[in-house]
Chains A and B, each alone.
Chain A
């Protein structure tokens, strides 16, 4: 059985965080007011 070290596999150029993982830097905008159901922070 062949396994590949996951760290050696390429990543996409477009990195996408997990649901709810916005950086939360925004002040008082749609993200702050929005209903965001967090799963986890990436």
Chain B
């Protein structure tokens, strides 16, 4: 790698590196302790974790006062101008079309300050193979457009994604309107039934997005942008997905001593997690899984889970005995 003079000097100057590091750390502490962010954290602390309305009310008040974070942005710009190796001590979030800094990253609420460029939008459209999709993310969002970029946005709705969600082929979404947004526009999106698409933009869109996992639908859903029909679903629950992967790993490691833990995971609120865990349990030790399988076939709240459990009982268990009393070791995993 050929490096420039400035980088070469910085890499060879430990004092300069420490100064950069100190400036980044000092800003991080100052930013979190400053009035707007401390106030936001305090307000959030008084809201119950599952109170999506309460959380979004706090978020709404914050995004409607973007001036509150102006000072912090100016400080970061000054620091970056003074030291080319300075990086904001905030997590970067980016995709093909947007780049942002996570102002707040908490279990109740995330707030992103981001920019989306029309060039990136156009590049993604050109590089796309096949038809696009319209995603209903399942979570409640607020978008505040500081710079609207003369963008035209279409708004979409679909049947609400609920706990008993099934991939019904008759599900489809529909366009309910379109508008050219202006600087300062704010709108809320309930991702369980609402979405939007940036159809066109002339210049950069700068926006604040607040999103909460509280009250999220169990899955996000994509619809084909051409046919408007159901295209696929994904989990909205990071913890549930981690549980799925860990249970799969335990089964691959043949950790039969993990059976009590795996049984606990069968109580997931998400139907797809429950069945994933049951499949792994059956593959690990079918006799240990049998009592839970019977219970699932009888009383699981989701019809597809009940059906799959009944099919499994019919196919693999005709005269089996329960074996739950064979568990005598606890897994420490």
Question: B241's contact among A13, A15, A18, by CB below 8 Å, is which?
Answer: A18
Which of B133, B209, B231 has the largest count of A CB atoms less than 10 A from its CB?
Answer: B133
User: In whole Å, how far is B327's beta carbon from the nearest beta carbon of chain A?
Assistant: 12
Closest Cβ–Cβ distance, residue B163 to chain A (whole Å): 12
Q: Are A27 and B304 in contact (CB under 8 A)?
A: no
Contact assessment for B312 and A22 in the assembled complex, using a CB-CB cutoff below 8 Å: no
Q: How far is the CA of A30 from the CA of B37 in the complex (A)?
A: 25
Contacts of A13 in B (CB 8 A): 166-167, 304
Knowing A14-B165, A14-B304, say if A26 contacts B240 (CB, 8 Å).
no
B219 interface hit (Cβ, 8 Å) = yes
Task: Verify A30–B233 contact, CB threshold 8 A.
Answer: no
A-B contact count (CB 8 A): 172
Q: In the complex, A36 Cα to B280 Cα: how many Å?
A: 27
For A4, give its contact among B132, B235, B283 (CB under 8 Å). B283
Interface SS, A side: loop
Q: Which residues of A contact B128 (CB under 8 A)?
A: 25, 27
Smallest distance from the beta carbon of A36 to chain B beta carbons, Å? Answer: 8
Closest A residue by C-beta to B326: A1
Q: Are B285 and A23 in contact (CB under 8 A)?
A: no
Q: Is the CB of A29 within 8 A of B197?
A: yes
Q: Tell yes or no: B108 within 8 A of A by CB.
A: no
* B257 in contact (CB, < 8 A): no
Please give me the 4 A-B residue pairs with the lowest Cβ-Cβ distance, nearest first. A28-B198, A31-B135, A19-B241, A16-B272
B residues near A, CB below 8 A? 93, 95-98, 102, 110, 112, 114, 116, 121, 124-125, 128, 130-137, 139, 141, 143, 165-167, 189, 191, 195-199, 201, 207, 209, 211, 219-220, 222, 225, 231-238, 240-242, 244-245, 251, 256, 271-272, 275, 279-280, 282-287, 304-305, 308, 311-312, 315-316, 320
Residues of chain A at the chain B interface (Cβ within 8 Å): 1-6, 8-37, 39-40, 42
Query: Contacts A23-B231, A27-B121 given; 8 further ones with Cβ under 8 A?
Result: A14-B166, A14-B167, A14-B233, A18-B234, A29-B198, A30-B141, A32-B96, A35-B110
A-B contact pairs, 7 of them (CB 8 A): A9-B279, A14-B167, A26-B135, A32-B98, A32-B124, A33-B97, A34-B141
